[in-house]
Amino acid sequence: MYEMKARIRYSEVGTDGKLMLSALVNYFQDCSTFQSEDLGVGVQHLKEQHGAWLMNFWQIQISRYPELCEEVKIITIPYEFDRFYGKRNFAMLDASGRYLAKANSLWFYFNTERARPMRVPQCEKDAYGTEERLDMNYTEERKLALPEQMEALKPFPVQRVHLDTNGHVNNGQYVRMAEEFLPADDVIRELRVEYRTAAHLGDTIYPCRGTVTDGDGAWTVLALCDAGGQPYVTLKVQ
């Protein structure tokens, strides 16, 4: 397990003075990045190996959003490697050790030179190791189906601020984009995200929104699509 401590910044809270969902995603992403850098398998190592860890799926469950200036701890736990994939937990805890949020994530290892997935190198497995996964309500869902009826929303361009070191839109930026189209008064307790293909600088994002109901209740579904209506990313919240 790897951990980092933080204090919720003014730039990370919304109008209610609490941590924004996209900022929570950024904390989780930063925690895994710091672990990779500390283990010697970070950004420069991946560049030299022509490799990249790309996100495939998020499941985040939130019990409480921390408030401005609150002290928190973020942890991450790699718990399984399987051919092309790696699985990793995250959590945010308050100063008393109570869980504020838990997350599960699925990543795949990508060969940037050949532009295709590849088996996870042994050096990556050795560096991270694995531990027992967190106790949480894991979904078996990996493909997020779109509702039959969806409302088309205002399109917008991908900008430089959305990009990361891989040259495409960062995982957390998609969540930040989605926040603009989710009901402002809703308190989101669970987020699921399926990443399908990368958007790049100059692409236009066409958002559309709908609702679905399943065994877990009613969900808002938001797809961030290309001009042909194919999702770059699909998000599901309740």
Confidence of residue 28 (pLDDT cuts 50, 70, 90): very high
Calculate the alpha carbon distances from 86 to 78, 82, 128, 234 in Å.
7, 6, 10, 20
Q: Is 50 left (phi over 0), alpha (psi -120 to 50) or beta?
A: left
Are the C-beta atoms of 107 and 53 separated by less than 8 Å?
A: yes
User: pLDDT tens-digit profile of 129-167?
Assistant: 999 999 999 999 999 999 999 999 999 999 999 999 989
What's residue 65's pLDDT? 98
pLDDT at 224 over 90: yes
Confidence of residue 215 (pLDDT cuts 50, 70, 90): confident
pLDDT at 17 over 90: yes
- In the chain, the domains with their CATH numbers are 2-128 (3.10.129.10), 151-237 (3.10.129.10)
What's residue 140's pLDDT? 94
Calculate the alpha carbon distances from 215 to 46, 113, 221 in Å.
40, 42, 15
User: pLDDT tens-digit profile of 101-138?
Assistant: 999 999 999 999 999 999 999 999 999 999 999 999 99
User: pLDDT tens-digit profile of 49-92?
Assistant: 999 999 999 999 999 999 999 999 999 999 999 999 999 999 99
User: pLDDT tens-digit profile of 185-206?
Assistant: 889 999 999 999 999 999 999 9
What's residue 185's pLDDT? 82
What's residue 184's pLDDT? 79
User: pLDDT tens-digit profile of 174-186?
Assistant: 999 999 999 878 8
DSSP-derived secondary structure for the chain? -EEEEEE--GGGB-TTSBB-HHHHHHHHHHHHHHHHHHHT-SHHHHHHHTEEEEEEEEEEEES-PPBTT-EEEEEEEEEEEETTEEEEEEEEEETTS-EEEEEEEEEEEEETTTTEE-PPPHHHHHHH---PPP-S------S-PPPSS-EE---EE--GGGB-TTSSB-HHHHHHHHHTTS-TT----EEEEEE-S---TT-EEEEEEEEEEETTEEEEEEEEE-TTS-EEEEEEE-
The Cα 2–Cα 91 span in angstroms is 11
What's residue 23's pLDDT? 98
The Cα 2–Cα 148 span in angstroms is 42
Confidence of residue 27 (pLDDT cuts 50, 70, 90): very high
State the sign of the Cα–Cα–Cα–Cα dihedral 109, 42, 142, 206.
negative
